[in-house]
Amino acid sequence: MEKLYHIKYMVLCKLPYRVRKTFNWFADWTRKQKDMNLYAKVEDIRNLLIYNHPVSQVPPATGKLRLLQDGNTVLLALFARKCRENGLRYWLDYGTLLGAVRHRGFIPWDDDLDASMMRPEYDRLLELLPTLFPREEGFTWKRHAFLQIGYEGTPLNIDVYPYHFYSGPLVDAEQHDSLDRRLSAFKKDVVLVKDRINLTDEEVQRKIRREILEGREPGEEKDRPGIFLSPAITFTKNTHLSYETFFPLGTMDFEGLKFSVPNHARQYLQFFYGDYLSYPDRIQFKHPSVKHMMEHVPFETAVNRFIDVYGKQIETPHS
């Protein structure tokens, strides 16, 4: 909370001195009184003040959060280079793509990275993980319905999501809505049974792809009809978009480097977020585990060491 407070404070610095001083004194007093209800109201007022500024003008993060973002930039550049060297296509996705489009870097309060790949290349990445990101060098990886790559002793993290090609013609809006309802119902069932089955099991994945997605049978790229997100991923909007939305991949600046992005990145963000140039309902850390580390774990030395070692491997900016 303290680091997020500092980001917001930088925006408030643009306000007149007397207003800023009075407001911050009151905010500090509410925290000392530990009146969480009152503090929440103060936070709402603070957010309203911030929202008077265009979201694209919110200053970058500082302190530990900025160090985390710097480390994640190195991790992303390393991931991109290893993908390129092995002929694996990827693209920035979700909040990371939004940051590239809106801020040319991290969303000021974002705490991780999101990327996606097509399923054949994603599977190839899984095979290469022990070589590309060896555990003996400190890298960590966890496979759920998606892949998480990190570095031990730090909150550094990149989530990698698998997408699939599907065969057959693109369906109309009414069919899309019907499919979304079926997938949403399926995802609720997944949440209920997630503790009793392993959703990363390949047999389960094949069954999902074969039987659940009526009208969206997995296809090959040569068919070029459309693309959908793995249905085992339960926390994001159902995705069924045209091939041309993603390919050919483009490039975009992110923290001074260039990375791959979907062909129609803004159209894609509009699909997911609606008015993606506006503020979210509330500014907050996305992952509780990262928030916990930010507040209680002294990870700065480990992140700085990671940047020192692997930052040297970042080449001249390109995707």
Dihedrals φ, ψ of 92, to 5°? -65, 145
- The answer as to whether 151 is a domain residue is yes
pLDDT of amino acid 289: 78
Identify whether 20 is part of a domain: yes
Distances (CA, A) of 15 to 9, 23, 49, 57, 108: 10, 10, 9, 14, 19
Check whether residue 10 and residue 42 sit in a common domain: yes
Instruction: For residue range 115-151, list pLDDT tens digits in order.
Output: 999 999 999 999 999 999 999 999 999 988 899 999 9
In a domain, 290, yes or no: no
pLDDT category of residue 214 using cuts at 50, 70 and 90: very low
pTM metric for this prediction: 0.73
E strand intervals along 153-289: 157-166, 226-229, 240-242, 250-254, 257-261
pLDDT for 278: 83
Distance CA 15, CA 67 (A): 27
Quick: pLDDT tens for 160-170. 999 888 765 55
25 and 76 in a common domain:
no
Q: Are residues 128 and 45 in the same domain?
A: no
Paired with 162 in beta bridges are: 117
Q: Confirm whether 282 is domain-assigned.
A: no
- Does residue 259 contact residue 88 with C-beta atoms inside 8 Å? no
Q: 165 or 177: whose pLDDT is higher?
A: 165
Residues 36 and 85 in one domain: no
The answer to whether 11 and 58 have CB atoms below 8 angstroms apart is yes
What's the rounded mean pLDDT across residues 239-247?
85
Structural contact between residues 118 and 88, judged by C-beta atoms closer than 8 angstroms:
no
Instruction: Give the structural domain span for 226.
Output: 63-273
